[in-house]
Structures are given as C-alpha cells and as structure tokens.
Amino acid sequence: MKNILLLGATGSIGTQVLDIIRNNDKYCLKAFSFGNNIEKAKIIIQEFHPKLVCAMHSNHIEILKQLFPNVNYCLGDIGLQKIASFDEKNTIVVNALVGAVGLIPTIVAIENGKDVLLANKETLVIGGKIVIQLAKAKNVQIIPIDSEHSAIYQLLHGVDKKDIKRLYITASGGALRDKDREELKEVTKKEALHHPNWKMGDKITIDCATMINKGFELIEACYLFDLDIDNVVPILHRESIIHSMVEFQDGSVFAQMATSDMHLPIQYALEYPRHLANQNLGELDLIKIGSLHFEKVSFERYPLVKCAIDAYKKGKLQCTILNAANEAAVQLFLKDKIKFFEIEKIIFEALENPQYQGFNEGDVNVTKIMSLHQLVYNEIYYKYC
C-alpha cells in the first residue's frame, strides 16, 4: 500500500491524481490540502476518508469539523508543512500546488525522508539548487509530474549521463500561438485561457500563452537532470504528441510520445519505473494524427523564454524575482487589472529593479528566497489594485 499525501487536491493535477488513486486499490489518500473549493474538499473527504486535511481558510475548517468530526485539520502554510511531514509508513508526497507556496512543503517532505512527486514547478525555479542538494543528502527521489520532464525521466532511465548531448523540451505554443506581437495587445482573458491541447488551471494556461512556462521548464530540466541550460532546447510542436526528446552523443534522438493526458505522467511517477495499464489512459493513434510538426522557438515572438534563460544564467535570486513578478502579473491579468501584453512589461521592469537586486548580496537561503518573493509579489500586485 502506498500512502499518498496530496498537496493541492482540488486543482487540475490534484483532481487527476485522485482519479489514479480511485482506480487502484494499492493507493490510499492519507492527507490532502485544498485552497478555496470547499465543496470539492467535502466530496474528497467523504470518498477517501483521509486522516488529515489542510485548509487555507479557518472558516472552512469549522464547516468541515461539523460534517466530518473524526478527521484532523490544520491551517495555511503551517498546515501544508504538517501534510508534508505526516507520520505514516510508506508515504509519498504529491506536490500539486500552484506557485511559490510549494517550495517549503517540498523541503519539509525531503527533510522527513519522503519521496516527492513534483508538479509544482516553482519549487525548482526559485529553490532548485537547495532542493536538489537536500534530496541528495537525504537520499530522497524527486520524480517530476510535468509531462515534459516525465518524458525525459522515462527516456533517461538506465542511461549514462555522459551519453547525453542535449534535451528538447516541446511546446504547443499555447492559446495565442497564431497571433503576432501586434495582435497580443488586444488579447482577451477568454482567448488566453483557451489552450488548444491541454485542460489545465488558469494560471498555468496563461503561463503557456506567454510561454514563460516553457522557460520555467528549461530551468527545471537543468536541476532535475544536471545539465547546462544551453543544452536544453525548446522546440515548438503543435500537436503535443511528443512531450520531450533526448539527443545522444552518437546522433540518436529518442522521443516519448503519448496523448495529451496528465494521467500518464502522474501514474508513471507513482509507479516508476513501470508503465502500467490504467483505465484513465487513452491510446495514441498515430495513423489518425497523420503527421507531426516542429518549429524553432522565436525569442522575438516569445521573449519571456529568453528572459527565463537569462535569469537562470545570472543566478542568485534572479529566478525568484522572475517568478514572483510573473505570479503577480498573471493574477492581475486574471482579475482584469492589466492587459495581456503588460505581463511581459511588469516582469522586465522587476528584473531591472535595483531594490530587488540588493537581495543578491550574500548567501541564498530559503528565508531570503521567500522574503524576496513576497516583497516583489506584493509591490507589483498592490501597485495595480
């Protein structure tokens, strides 16, 4: 029996994790967290009977206590840490949180010797060096759930790192891939949220539209697979059938192909390194698809990809500033406070802000990362609200 501690159970990834648990009796949901969706939380508690539940709002806990008095409850960021450190045999932490809030629970899980199945990309974008070093010290596995990194993880199983020449991270181009730079100035929220291939949460869908999501994935790949970012290449692939490719020193290129369905990387992470049948997973019909297409990623069209690469190369806390500015800008756009095109402007300005650069002095640690992230986010968000 694998006991699952699920952070972010009511989001897109969390919901699909529950699908996998529901259809396999060797998994047991022992604890979970949720944000605002208390109605979904009620359904999850009723179906899975967890021992511990973390809410983000205290009034939600009071409501749930009345309905489910035998469950233990915890609150907020401290509650997330309690979930991540929950004391039960054979536990696995699945981090499906959105945003920088996912970093500290990941660290707590590792410190408690728990393997982490990671869908929270911000963990590695802002704290990658610390997280990877700690995982090695604690002999803990970090298994990616992102479809792109899961693909690479599958392709590199049993491979000597010296044989790798480069990685190719594929990108659909997002909802706005057929619009030029001028057309982006009048993009609506509805247009930006209409992803052609994937059904995801609002925040990551907007990140796909700006393509900063792909920049983040390049950074993640560097930490997960210990490669230089110049050897991790983004490539446009509209069909989202090939999720990533690995090129080896002899010129061979291996690709992982599957339908656009997050159930597959989730199950692979849970069952690594096995590829098991599951009723959630559909078959890939290449005859029906007919052909696959590839294009170079234009940094002129998608400047935030280059922005992410540059932030990673500069090191220190540049990726923290980048992520915080993006989180704030995306929230502002989703709340109709700014236009789509302004997301880029806000991020570029934040990365040049001398006040934030002052944090780059001295050693980087989790406290400094989270302090800077909160400062940047708050200053940007409240400037426009």
Query: Is 163 in contact with 248 (CB distance < 8 Å)?
Result: yes
pLDDT at 198 over 90: no
User: pLDDT of 159-189, one tens digit each?
Assistant: 999 999 999 999 998 888 989 998 888 899 9
Reported confidence tier of residue 20, pLDDT bands at 50, 70, 90 = very high
In 3D space, the residue among 218, 36, 10, 171 whose CA is nearest the CA of residue 96 turns out to be 10
For a pLDDT cut of 90, what percent of the chain falls above it? 89
Look up the CATH number of domain 2-144.
3.40.50.720
pLDDT given at position 278? 83
User: pLDDT of 272-304, one tens digit each?
Assistant: 999 998 888 889 999 999 999 999 999 999 999
> To the nearest whole number, what is the mean pLDDT of the chain?
95
User: pLDDT of 295-341, one tens digit each?
Assistant: 999 999 999 999 999 999 999 999 999 999 999 999 999 999 999 99
pLDDT given at position 48? 98
Reported confidence tier of residue 361, pLDDT bands at 50, 70, 90 = confident
pLDDT given at position 41? 98
What is the domain partition of the chain in residue ranges? Answer: 2-144, 150-314
User: pLDDT of 65-78, one tens digit each?
Assistant: 999 999 999 999 99
Q: Which residue has the higher pLDDT, 357 or 53?
A: 53
pLDDT given at position 231? 98
User: pLDDT of 131-169, one tens digit each?
Assistant: 999 999 999 999 999 999 999 999 999 999 999 999 999
User: What is the SS3 assignment for the chain?
Assistant: CEEEEEECCCCHHHHHHHHHHHCCCCEEEEEEECCCCHHHHHHHHHHHCCCEEEECCHHHHHHHHHHCCCCEEEEHHHHHHHHHCCCCCCEEEEECCCCHHHHHHHHHHHHCCCEEEECCCHHHHHHHHHHHHHHHHHCCCEEECCHHHHHHHHHCCCCCHHHEEEEEEEECCCCCCCCCCCHHHHCCHHHHCCCCCCCCCHHHHHHHHHCHHHHHHHHHHHHHHCCCHHHEEEEECCCCCEEEEEEECCCCEEEEECCCCCHHHHHHHHHCCCCCCCCCCCCCCHHHHCCCCCEECCCCCCHHHHHHHHHHHHCCCHHHHHHHHHHHHHHHHHCCCCCCCHHHHHHHHHHCCHHHHHHHCCCCCHHHHHHHHHHHHHHHHHHHC
For a pLDDT cut of 70, what percent of the chain falls above it? 100
The pTM assigned to this predicted structure is: 0.95
pLDDT at 195 over 90: no
